[in-house]
Every structure is written in C-alpha cells, then in structure tokens.
Chain A
C-alpha cells in the first residue's frame, strides 16, 4: 500500500511539472510572438513614413526640382522636418551612372551597390525606394529609417 501511494504521488508530481512547463512554453511563445508582431508593425510604420514623406515631397513639387539641381540639402531638410525626432534616417541617390551616399550637402563616392553610410551602423533599419521619373533621366532616392530609442 505504501509503495502504491508513493507511486501515485510521483505521477502527480510529474503531471504538475509537465503542466507548468507547458504553461511556460505557451506564455513565452505568446509574449515573444506579440513582441515580434509589434516590432514588425513598427518597422512597417517606418517604411510607410519613408515612402509617404518622399511621395509628399514629389506632390508639393519639391523633389523633382531638388533632384534636377542635385540639392540634397533641401531634400534632407524636408525629410528631417517630416519624420519623428525619435527616428533617424539616411538616403542614397541612384541615377544612370550608379549609386551614391548622400552626405549633408553633397554626393559622396560612387558605389556599385547602395549602402548609406549612417544607416550601415544601425541595428534594425528599413528602407524603401522612391523613383522620380519626370526628369529627363529617372532618379531614385532610397531612404533608410530606424528608431533611435
């Protein structure tokens, strides 16, 4: 009788452990999943913001003339005013001759592949293109965004 009682207690103990482990797995997975969804939502919001800012610059007739004049100071200024202070950004400029990182006032060295200088040091970034096709030759701005906080 004593042996059977001990065995029953052992089975209950195992069952409780399994239930705790199971609940732990479910809870952890749920929290992790929610966190990932939240992060992806944030990233998608950033991407939306980037595309929207450039699209709006085009619609208010700033982007085309600024690109034609290679006036990147103006473009950067508008972007800076348009995005949240808690977000960072950088831009690349792509035309028929290649891809260029855009520093504060000018184009830096030509690159085969785009890689904005400041963006390359961030952990999580999103990027989106905006192509302006109304000038004689098409030009594209690739905007990189990240959260500073």
Chain B
C-alpha cells in the first residue's frame, strides 16, 4: 500500500470521527434540553390538581347530583302560607325546561315541588324556615312524576343566593393551555354515584402525552 493511500484513509477516518463526535454532542445537547425543559409536568400537574380539588369541593359541599350542574341556595326566614312560590330568577341560558330540570333539595333529600310555568321557573313547594337548594341545568332530565304546573303563596320572606356552577373547568383549562401551545381536549361525565365528575383528558405537548380519566 502506498503512503498516499494511508493519508487518504487517515483523512476519511478523521472525517468519520468528527461526524460521530458532532452527532453525539448534538444528541447530548438535545437530550439535556428535553431533560431540563420539563415545564409540561407542571402543566399536567396543574390539570390534575385543579380537577381533584374541584371534585373535593363538589363532594365537600354535598352536591346532590353532578348531572345537575347549577344550584342556588334559597334561605327562608318567614313563612306566610303554603304551598309557597319562590322566584329563582334563572337565566334562560341556564335551563331548557323548568318542568323537567328543577329539583328542590333540603337536608333530607329531594322534596316534591311544582313550577308555575315551563319557562320563568318560579318554584312552588311546601316550605318551612331554613335552607333549600334548587338544582337545575340538566337537559337530559325527565319531568318528575310529582310535578304539576301550579302557583303558590307569594308572601314568604326569603333570599336567593348566586348560582353555583360546576361545569366550567374543562372550558377554562382548554382555553389556558391553547394559549401555551398545548393541545388539551377535556370532557366531563358523571361517575357512578354522581358525587364527583369524571374528566376525560387528552393532553399532548412536546414532551408528554396523556389520555385517560381523572376524578
């Protein structure tokens, strides 16, 4: 073999070595970036934490049934005759049918109640002083067997608290993560005992993917 050939072989080996080294360094650098740029775990942690805390709140507040997404607290301080008609001032955007959706719950559970009309949602039932929760916003609900369309006594003294809504978390999370370039598809469904909500999460970021239920 001639000396010139050794030189050519040496140059080729060097070129190969340099290529391997450069490739290795690029790979190491990329691996380092992915290793330490792990912002995604905070994002996913935030999703899990907010969902579990929401469910803890729903459960802790004694939400009667998570299929009904909105409730209002009615506090009655004076009774002026029964049955009594309560004006709930429900927004038409929150309810499709008063006859089907309204449920009245006290400390013992669901009690019979009527409505004055299918829209407008004044509720008539036999009251005593104390607290009642009015649940609504469940378009899949059926009209209960006890329900009639009647009016009642309007003389009671009572206050109606603001609405409590348990159905906004998915929309909120989808909105904020869209702004961070992370794909998130979140849907709510009921658990078997209606005490918590199931959240189906489809999460895709640069480093991490998840599909499954969180509750």
Chain B: CB-nearest residue to A129: B46
Q: Does chain A have a CB within 8 A of B32? A: yes
Return the contact of A138 from the options B29, B42, B56, B172 (Cβ within 8 A). B172
Q: Known contacts A30-B25, A33-B28, A33-B29; is A133 also within 8 Å of B42 by CB?
A: no
B-facing mask of A127-149, CB < 8 A → 1, else 0? 11111111011101010000000
Please report whether the interface of chain B is mostly helix, strand, loop or mixed according to DSSP: helix
Distance of B214 from chain A, by nearest CB (Å): 12
A-to-B contact residues, CB < 8 Å: 11, 15, 18, 22, 25-26, 29-30, 32-33, 36-37, 40-41, 43-44, 47-48, 51, 55, 94-96, 99, 113-114, 126-134, 136-138, 140, 142
Q: Does chain A have a CB within 8 A of B180? A: yes
Q: Name 13 extra pairs, CB < 8 A, besides A33-B32, A127-B180.
A: A22-B14, A25-B21, A26-B25, A33-B29, A36-B29, A37-B36, A51-B46, A94-B176, A128-B42, A133-B53, A134-B57, A138-B50, A140-B172
8 pairs of residues in contact across A and B, judged by CB atoms under 8 Å: A36-B29, A44-B39, A96-B168, A132-B50, A134-B53, A136-B162, A136-B165, A137-B172
Distance of A98 from chain B, by nearest CB (Å): 9
B37 and A44: CB pair below 8 A?
yes
B43 and A138: CB pair below 8 A?
no
List, in ascending order, chain A residues with CB within 8 A of B7's CB.
Answer: 11
B49 and A131: CB pair below 8 A?
yes
Give Cα A126–Cα B177 distance, bound, in whole angstroms: 15
* 9 A-B pairs with the lowest CB-CB distances in the bound complex, closest first: A40-B36, A131-B50, A133-B54, A29-B25, A133-B50, A138-B172, A37-B32, A128-B42, A134-B57
Give Cα A113–Cα B36 distance, bound, in whole angstroms: 26
Distance of B17 from chain A, by nearest CB (Å): 7
Give Cα A79–Cα B36 distance, bound, in whole angstroms: 24
Q: How many A-B residue contacts, CB cutoff 8 Å? A: 103
Give Cα A38–Cα B43 distance, bound, in whole angstroms: 22
Q: Does chain A have a CB within 8 A of B38? A: yes
Q: Does chain A have a CB within 8 A of B2? A: no
Distance of B115 from chain A, by nearest CB (Å): 25
Q: Does chain A have a CB within 8 A of B91? A: no
Chain B: CB-nearest residue to A130: B46
Chain B: CB-nearest residue to A128: B42
Q: Known contacts A25-B21, A128-B42, A131-B50; is A40 also within 8 Å of B169 by CB?
A: no
Q: Does chain A have a CB within 8 A of B179? A: yes
List, in ascending order, chain A residues with CB within 8 A of B57's CB.
Answer: 133-134
Distance of B206 from chain A, by nearest CB (Å): 14
Give Cα A47–Cα B179 distance, bound, in whole angstroms: 17
Give Cα A44–Cα B183 distance, bound, in whole angstroms: 21
Give Cα A101–Cα B21 distance, bound, in whole angstroms: 47
Q: Does chain A have a CB within 8 A of B121? A: no
List, in ascending order, chain B residues with CB within 8 A of A126's CB.
Answer: 39
List, in ascending order, chain B residues with CB within 8 A of A137's CB.
Answer: 165, 168, 172
Give Cα A37–Cα B29 distance, bound, in whole angstroms: 8
Give Cα A44–Cα B35 distance, bound, in whole angstroms: 10
List, in ascending order, chain B residues with CB within 8 A of A18's CB.
Answer: 14
Give Cα A26–Cα B26 distance, bound, in whole angstroms: 11
A-facing mask of B154-180, CB < 8 A → 1, else 0? 000000001111001101110111011
Q: Known contacts A94-B175, A131-B172; is A41 also within 8 Å of B53 by CB?
A: no
